[in-house]
């Protein structure tokens, strides 16, 4: 049984086939969030902190932290954001950058065993990121594309993942510290994307025996009711063997899909987590009268 | 590819591995519905008619009709209910009774090729129901229990299903006219129930090559937020090969789970059905102001 262990200074999280699904909060990412980008660039990290706290309260087991802001000092901003997130929450962090120097400065300040997000199958990336991962004793997200781009054929993507796992081993990084992202295509554009992902996730689990993660919301790009598609995707991917995802715990439908999948997979003994979450909705979300009505109406038939 | 074809006088429905999931509306069933039971017993079928219309409007592809009322003339009531449902809707019907005489009177008035619900693996049931199914050229739901009861071991349930399919063949009923119900246990009581169902559904599809159905809401018995569990169950079961379910299309979460699963399985070309359903919520469900807000809020992140 493959288990990926990551940690903060005080808390350990295990990603594994026989464990509850791990949600990596996606919100701390200035891509497409103009206000957040501007604030981070100007040294205002108040939203980073509140987003960190809100995601953990909503159920995130880990947090992804990205500081990709054009023309900004990404290594410095990423390191500062990580320090602040670690000061207000205790969950492990996925250090997210496409710039090696930023990964390096993030790792330098990080307390615990981080998840480095990410390395691809491109030669130059492999040889710059993997030594860094090894040096810091971190785990790493392996994205299954290489110099030839992203193949539409999931079996080609599987081969790229295999290459990264083998190269990591050459660098002394065990397969349990490589978490593969099989790359999820928008299903509105590629109708077979769903079955492709199930196929590759199952192969990654059964043949390569690695944990997996993905940016779950890509699948619904361009479609209405994205949360509905994301929920269907996560549920099916979990049944195929997906063990974590970078997604938003702030969407109730996403959380429900993940917790429901944990129940169905037998990863929520006696449904304790499910019952705790849905028997007593927290009082600050809606007034008492509505709560009662909803609970009564939530019977199966 | 196994396809089960059922029909009304004017409409054909195909249940199959490569087709959109078939929803069999469960509402016309007096079990646990005191008012409906009383009305049907007294010859008032107005609620039967309105439930039929509402379920078809909500997306049911077929309707289950059950008239199991203690101390009532079930054969006569079932036949009358079927006639009325066929007069107000055009979808095929699942004729649902544990009394052979009621199945017989239902089949006598039915126009089209019905789904008989159900036969078990019990010797006496096999030899009374299968000849009736053959005589009327119907299809039949095969419930995977026998004289020894319902086994908790899904492989034992598989063997019972296999026996029924073989016996049906002896009676001249082809395997595509047998739709197996693998029996879904409440997951609050049996934590492995989810994985068990995935396992048996996959075996029924791959080895026995039959279509499948189930009473989907059993899985969530006794749990809070039953619709959430039902949605997770349906999504996972569909990815394992479940091809139909007897459930309520009136629950928005159930419909969303099924339509989302169709998208993920590649059974909704160009997501046409999904887009039609969620781009323009029907105006009579909620006021315009709420619609706008919800649509804006439904982005993936």
Please determine, for residue A295, whether its predicted confidence score (pLDDT) is greater than 50.
Answer: no
B217 contacts on A by Cβ (under 8 Å): 300-301
**Higher pLDDT pick, B271 / A286:** B271
Size of interface A-B (CB pairs under 8 A): 158
Q: Give the DSSP H or E segment for A252.
A: helix A252-264
Distance, CA of A103 to CA of A95 (rounded, Å): 7
CA–CA gap between residue B68 and residue B32 (Å, rounded): 10
Q: Measured between beta carbons, which residues in chain B are less than 8 angstroms from residue A279?
A: 224
CB proximity under 8 Å: B 26-65 to A: 26
pLDDT for position B297: 38
**Which regions of chain B are under pLDDT 70?**
280-301
- Whether a cis peptide bond, with omega within 30° of 0, leads into B118 is yes
pLDDT at B295: 41
Interface check B293 vs A, CB under 8 A: no
Q: Which two tokens stand for residue A31?
A: 């891509």
Asked if A227's CB is within 8 angstroms of B231's CB, the reply is no
* Cα A277 from Cα A275, distance rounded (Å): 5
Of all residues in chain A, the percent with pLDDT exceeding 90 is 91
The predicted-structure confidence for A67-124, as pLDDT tens digits, reads as follows 999 999 999 999 999 999 999 999 999 999 999 999 999 999 999 999 999 999 999 9
pLDDT tens digits, one per residue of B73-123: 999 999 999 999 999 999 999 999 999 999 999 999 999 999 999 999 999
According to the model, what pLDDT value does residue A282 have? 52
Per DSSP, A74 falls in state H
Quick one: how far is CA B97 from the chain centroid? Answer: 14
What integer pLDDT is reported at residue A289 of this predicted model?
44
CB contact under 8 A, A298 and B232: no
Contacts of A18 in chain B (CB under 8 A): none
Residue B249, classed as helix, strand or coil, is: coil
Give CA separation, B155 vs A199, A274, B65, B102, B142, in Å.
25, 28, 30, 32, 15
Number of structural domains chain A divides into? 1
3-state SS class at B255: helix
Q: Please tell me the predicted confidence (pLDDT) of residue B115.
A: 98
Helix H or strand E encompassing A38: helix A34-41
Give the sign of the dihedral formed by CA B276, CA B282, CA B283, CA B285. negative
Q: Give the integer Cα–Cα distance in Å for A260 and A266.
A: 10
> Chain B residue closest to A271 (CA)?
B188
Please report the ipTM that was assigned to this predicted complex.
Answer: 0.89
Task: Determine the Cα angle at A142 with ends A138 and A146, to 5°.
Answer: 140
Tokens representing B268 are 């909704």
Range of the domain at A100: 3-298
Let me know: does B86 contact B110? Beta carbons within 8 Å. yes
| pLDDT score at A300 | 36
Q: Where are the alpha helices (DSSP H) in chain B?
A: 34-41, 46-58, 74-88, 100-109, 123-135, 154-170, 193-206, 226-240, 252-264, 272-279, 288-297
pLDDT the model gives residue B280: 63
pLDDT digits (tens, 9 = 90+) for A185-218: 999 999 999 999 999 999 999 999 999 999 998 9
- The model's pLDDT over A111-146, given as tens digits with 9 standing for 90+, comes to 999 999 999 999 999 999 999 999 999 999 999 999
At residue A292 the predicted structure's pLDDT band, cuts being 50, 70 and 90, is very low
CATH of the domain at B219: 3.20.20.20
User: Using one digit for the tens of pLDDT, what is the confidence trace for A219-261?
Assistant: 999 999 999 999 999 999 999 999 999 999 999 999 999 999 9
pTM to 2 decimal places: 0.90
Nearest to B57 by CA among B83, B25, B81: B25
Using CB atoms, which residue from A187, A195, A265 is nearest to B194?
A265
């Amino acid at each position: 049984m493959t288990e990926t262990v990551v940690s903060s200074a005080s808390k350990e999280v295990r990603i594994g086939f026989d464990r509850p699904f791990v949600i990596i909060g996606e919100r701390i990412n200035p891509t497409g969030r103009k206000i957040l980008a501007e604030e981070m660039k100007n040294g205002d990290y108040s939203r980073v902190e509140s987003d960190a706290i809100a995601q953990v309260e909503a159920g995130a087991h880990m947090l992804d932290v990205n500081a990709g802001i054009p023309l900004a000092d990404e290594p410095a901003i990423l390191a500062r954001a990580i320090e602040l997130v670690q000061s207000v929450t205790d969950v492990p962090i996925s250090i997210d950058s496409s710039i090696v120097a930023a990964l390096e400065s993030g790792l330098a300040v990080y307390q615990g065993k981080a998840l480095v997000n990410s390395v691809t199958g491109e030669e130059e990336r492999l040889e710059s990121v993997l030594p860094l991962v090894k040096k810091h004793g971190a785990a790493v997200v392996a994205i299954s594309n290489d110099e030839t781009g992203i193949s539409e054929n999931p079996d080609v993507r599987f081969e790229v993942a295999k290459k990264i796992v083998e190269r990591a081993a050459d660098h002394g990084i065990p397969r349990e510290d490589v978490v593969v992202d099989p790359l999820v295509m928008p299903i509105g554009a590629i109708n077979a994307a769903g079955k492709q992902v199930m196929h590759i996730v199952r192969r990654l689990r059964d043949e390569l025996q690695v944990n997996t993660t993905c940016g779950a919301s890509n699948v619904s790009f361009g479609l209405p009711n994205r949360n509905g598609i994301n929920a269907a995707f996560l549920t099916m991917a979990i049944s195929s063997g997906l063990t974590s995802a970078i997604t938003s715990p702030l969407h109730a439908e996403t959380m429900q899909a993940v917790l429901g999948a944990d129940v169905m997979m037998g990863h929520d003994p006696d449904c304790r987590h499910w019952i705790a979450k849905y028997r007593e909705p927290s009082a600050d979300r809606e007034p008492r009268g509505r709560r009662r009505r909803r609970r009564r109406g939530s019977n199966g038939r």
